[in-house]
Amino acid sequence: EIVMTQSPATLSVSPGEGATLSCRASQTISSNLAWYQQKPGQAPRLLMYGASTRATGIPARFSGSVSGTEFTLTISSLQSEDFAVYYCQQYNYWPPTFGQGTKVEIK
């Protein structure tokens, strides 16, 4: 089973600042990675797949990249609605597995 490790566990950011979230896979998974956003009491929402392709309706301030087994989700200028928990998920090897999440909180 592929282990996905996200860092940091919590990221404190001021509104308007940028944020960089990391997700590392225990094996090479090509670009087969998705990112989700989850707000308290809500279901996860797909942000990105293919490591860098934004899902429908996701604003351009969200971007993704990959270097080897290290994946990055960048939020260029945090808006109030972006404070949430973010999860990565690999879909290269069965079964699909998720990281433990990064909470982006208001500084």
Partner 1 sequence: EVQLVESGGDLVQPGGSLRLSCAASGFPFSGHWMSWVRQAAGKGLEWVANIKEDGSEKYYVDSVKGRFTISRDNAKNSLYLQMNSLRAEDTAVYYCARPTWGSTNVNWFDPWGQGTLVTVSS
SS3 category, 80: helix
User: What are the residues whose beta carbons fall under 8 Å from the beta carbon of 55, sequence distance 6 or more?
Assistant: 46, 47, 48, 49
Q: How far is the CB of 100 from partner 1 (least distance, A)?
A: 4
Give the other-Cβ count within 10 Å of 70's Cβ.
12
Q: How far is the CB of 57 from partner 1 (least distance, A)?
A: 11
Q: What is the Cα–Cα distance from 62 to 47, expressed in whole angstroms?
A: 8
**Which is nearer to partner 1, 19 or 88 (by Cβ)?**
88
**Residue 82 gets which letter from DSSP?**
G
SS3 category, 66: strand
Q: What is the Cα–Cα distance from 69 to 78, expressed in whole angstroms?
A: 26
Residues that bind partner 1 (CB under 8 A): 32, 34, 36, 42-46, 49-50, 55, 87, 89-101
Q: How far is the CB of 88 from partner 1 (least distance, A)?
A: 10
**Which is nearer to partner 1, 32 or 69 (by Cβ)?**
32
Q: How far is the CB of 38 from partner 1 (least distance, A)?
A: 8
**Which is nearer to partner 1, 17 or 105 (by Cβ)?**
105
**Which is nearer to partner 1, 14 or 56 (by Cβ)?**
56
